Structure 1
Amino acid sequence: MSVTYDGVEGGSSTQRSGCPACGAAAPPNGQFCGGCGHRLESAGHDQQVAMPSSALIPQVEARASRSSRKWLATAASLVALGAATWGVLDDLHLRSGLESKRRALTATQHFLSDTQAKLTDTTAQLGETKQKLASTQSNLASKTKALAASQAALQGAQRSLTDANGRIDVQSGQIVTLKTCLGGVSTALHDLAYDDYSGVISALDAVQVSCQAANKIVG
C-alpha cells in the first residue's frame, strides 16, 4: 500500500510506501507509524524527484544569463579598477619623475645662481686687480724715468769725477815739477851762501828743465 503527494518543486509527484511493520498508511513526513509506532525511514530516501520540466529551462537560462552578466560586470569592474590603478600608478610615477626633475632643476638653478655670484665677485676682483696693475705700471714708469734721470746724473758725475781726476793728475804733475824746481833753487842758494859757485851752477843746471816747466805753469 502506498500514498501519493505533490512534490516540492517542478510540479512532479513522489510516492512513499506504508509502514513496513503493519502495512498502515504512513504520513508523507512522519517519522513513526500511526498504527504500530514503528520508526519510519527518512522521507528523503523514498522520494524520487522528477527531472525539471521544460518550463524550468528558461528559468535556468535566465539565471545563467544573470550570472554571466554579473561575472561580466565584475570582470569589467576589475578591468576598470585595474586600468584606474594603472593610471594612478603611472600618474604617480610621472609625478615622481617630474618632482625629481623639478628638484634637479632647482638645484641647477641654485648652482647657476651661486656660479653667477662667484663670477660677479671674480669680475669685480679682476677690475680691482686691473686698476692696481695700471697704478703699479704708472708708478713703475715714473720710477723708470727717475732711474733714467739718476743714471744720467750718475754718468755726468762720473764724467765730472774723471775730469777732476785728470785735473788732479795734471796738478799733481805740476806740483812735482814745481817742487823739483824749488828744490834745485834751494840747493843753489845754499851753495851760494858758502860761495860755492860751482855747486850753484850744478844745482841750477840739474833743475833747469823743471824750472822752465814751472815757469810755464806759473806764467
Structure 2
Amino acid sequence: MDEKLKKDIEAIVAEIFSQNEEAEKIEETEKALSKSAEVISELTASLERKNTKEEEMSSELADLNESVANLKTELEAAQKEVKQSNENLAEAENKIEEMKRDKAAEVRMNELSAAGVALSDKKTQTSKVREMDDETFTSYKEELISLRKAVEDELHNSFEEEEGSEEEEGSEEEEGSEEEEGSEEEEEGSEETPPANIDPNVAVAAAMNLELQPSDNIINKYQKLGKAMADNMKNS
C-alpha cells in the first residue's frame, strides 16, 4: 500500500512538474511572441515613419526642383534684363560720345574760323576734326596756321617784288627823251597788263583748300605753290 501510494505521489508530483514546465514554456512562448509582436509593431511603425519621411523628402525634393526651376527662370529673366540694360547703357554712352564729338567739332571749327584757317569745304573739314583727339587737332590747327602764314608771306614777297620792278621800269623810262618817253608810254599803255588785283585771303584760301591732310613738308610745298600762284596771277 505504501509502495503504491508512493508511486501515485511520485506520478502526481511528476505531472505537477510537467505541468509547471509546460506552463513555463507556454509563458515563455507567450512572452517571446509578445516581444516579437512588439518588435514587429516597432518595425512596422519605423517603416511607416520611414515611408512618411521618404514621402516628405520626395515632396521637399519636388518643391526644391520647382524652386530651382523658378530661380532658373528668374535668373534667365534677370540676365536678359542685364543684357538689355547693358545694351541701353552702351547705346546711351555712344550717343553721349557722339554728342561730345559733335560739340568738339563745333568748337574746333569755330577755332579754325577764328584763326582764318577754316576750309571752304566745311563739311569735310568738320568730319575730319570730329574724329581727332585734342593733341592731333592742336597739331593740325598749328600746321594750318603755319601754312597760311607761309602762303601769305610768299604772296607779300611777290607783291613787293612786283612793286619794285614797276619802280625800276619807271626810273629807266625817265632817262629817255621826252618823245621816246611819250611813245614808250603809249606803247606800254597799250601793251602792259595792269597789275593783278589779288586778294591775299582768297589766294590763301585757294591754296589751303587744295590740301585737306597736310603732310610734313606742306609748308615748303605751299611756299612754292604761293609763289607760282602769285606769278600766274601777275602774268594773267
Q: TM-score, normalised by structure 2?
A: 0.47
1 or 2, which has the higher helix percentage?
A: 2
TM-score (norm 1): 0.50
Q: Flag the structure with larger Rg.
A: 1
